[in-house]
């Protein structure tokens, strides 16, 4: 993934850092989110051992002052990222007052979640518990009025790098 869409390549930590700096400079964008998992980071999740997701989160918070939408592999990653966010905020109490992160977790198919996906959501639910939600957001008029049909952009390759490469890395 680079500036030239005809020259596809694996996403890198440098790509992530550059995109975070760009997002930070754009006042129209209210949060930062990775658009790829850096393939050049040694880490669990990158199939090289260690933890690519923690490095990805750290890179995002080092390169933007905006809230961060993060991804993780499992509950252990989610809890570690929550601990990092808490530390960066100056403690759990300050994080409660000013939440600066959100877990992006994607189910495989409607109403079907893997054990790992469910475990990540449970870690996020723990955070919701200590943040003190004001009710069920799914039943709120605002949520219902903002819901749109399922949409996927066609600009970016949506498959994981391994699947893309196994498919001949078509451009």
Q: Which two tokens stand for residue 49?
A: 């051992």
pLDDT at 144: 57
Q: How far apart are CA 137 and CA 133, in angstroms?
A: 9
DSSP per-residue codes, 7-60? S-----HHHHHHHHHHHHH-TT---EE-SS--TTS-SBTTTSSSBHHHHHHHHH
Residue 165, in any domain of the structure: no
Q: How far apart are CA 61 and CA 54, in angstroms?
A: 11
pLDDT at 139: 55
Q: How far apart are CA 107 and CA 114, in angstroms?
A: 7
Taking the chain (171 residues) in runs of 10, the rounded mean pLDDT of each run is 67 86 87 84 51 87 87 86 92 86 71 70 61 51 56 65 80 63
pTM for the full predicted model: 0.59
Q: How far apart are CA 67 and CA 37, in angstroms?
A: 18
From residue 60, how far is each of 47, 104, 147 by CA, in Å?
21, 14, 28
pLDDT at 50: 52
Residue 71, in any domain of the structure: yes
Q: How far apart are CA 60 and CA 32, in angstroms?
A: 7
pLDDT at 125: 66
pLDDT at 156: 63
pLDDT at 131: 42
pLDDT at 64: 85
Residue 161, in any domain of the structure: no
DSSP per-residue codes, 51-83? BHHHHHHHHHHHS-SS-EEE--SSHHHHHHHHH
pLDDT at 99: 85
Residue 145, in any domain of the structure: no
Contacts of 19 (CB under 8 A, 6+ apart): 34, 35
pLDDT at 5: 62
Range of the domain at 104: 13-136
Q: How far apart are CA 62 and CA 60, in angstroms?
A: 5
pLDDT at 112: 67
Residue 132, in any domain of the structure: yes
Residue 162, in any domain of the structure: no
Query: Total structural domains in the chain?
Result: 1
């Amino acid at each position: 993934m680079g500036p030239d869409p005809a020259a596809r390549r694996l996403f890198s930590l440098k790509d992530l850092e550059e995109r975070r700096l760009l997002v930070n400079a754009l006042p129209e964008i209210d949060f930062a989110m990775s658009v790829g998992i850096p393939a050049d980071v040694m880490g669990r999740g990158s199939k090289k051992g260690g933890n690519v997701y923690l490095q990805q989160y750290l890179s995002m918070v080092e390169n933007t002052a905006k809230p961060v939408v993060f991804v993780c592999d499992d509950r252990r990653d989610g809890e570690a990222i929550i601990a990092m966010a808490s530390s960066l905020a100056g403690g759990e109490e300050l994080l409660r007052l000013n939440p600066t992160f959100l877990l992006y977790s994607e189910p495989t198919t409607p109403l079907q979640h893997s054990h790992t996906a469910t475990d990540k959501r449970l870690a996020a639910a723990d955070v919701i518990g200590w943040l003190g939600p004001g009710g069920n957001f799914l039943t709120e008029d605002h949520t219902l009025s903002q819901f749109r049909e399922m949409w996927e952009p066609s600009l970016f390759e949506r498959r994981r790098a391994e699947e893309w490469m196994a498919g001949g890395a078509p451009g």
